[in-house]
Amino acid sequence: MKIIADLDKCEGLGMCEAMANDYFEVDEDKVNVLDDSPEESDRAHVYAAVQACPVLALSLEG
C-alpha cells in the first residue's frame, strides 16, 4: 500500500494529520506525506485518514 497525495487538490484542512500524524503533516496549507508506505498494523488507521479528506486529495495504491 502506498499513499498518494494530489497537492493540486489539497487545501490543507488537516483532517489526515489529525487522524494519522505519523504519516501526514500539513505545512503551508499543503499536506506532506511523512511515510508513504504504512506498516501493516497502521493500514486501517491510514485508510480512515485518507477517506476523511473532504477534497479527495489523498488516495491509496496497491
pLDDT band at 13 (very low <50, low <70, confident <90, very high): very high
Task: Indicate the CATH number for domain 2-54.
Answer: 3.30.70.20
User: Quick one: CA torsion of 12, 15, 18, 19, rounded to 10 degrees?
Assistant: -140
Query: What pLDDT is stored for residue 61 in this prediction?
Result: 97
Which of 3, 46, 2 lies closest to 21 in space, CA to CA? 46
Residue 46 phi, psi dihedral angles, 5° rounding? -65, -40
Percent of the chain with pLDDT over 90: 97
- Mean pLDDT of the 18-25 span: 98
- Mean pLDDT of the 35-41 span: 97
Query: What pLDDT is stored for residue 14 in this prediction?
Result: 97
pTM for this one? 0.92
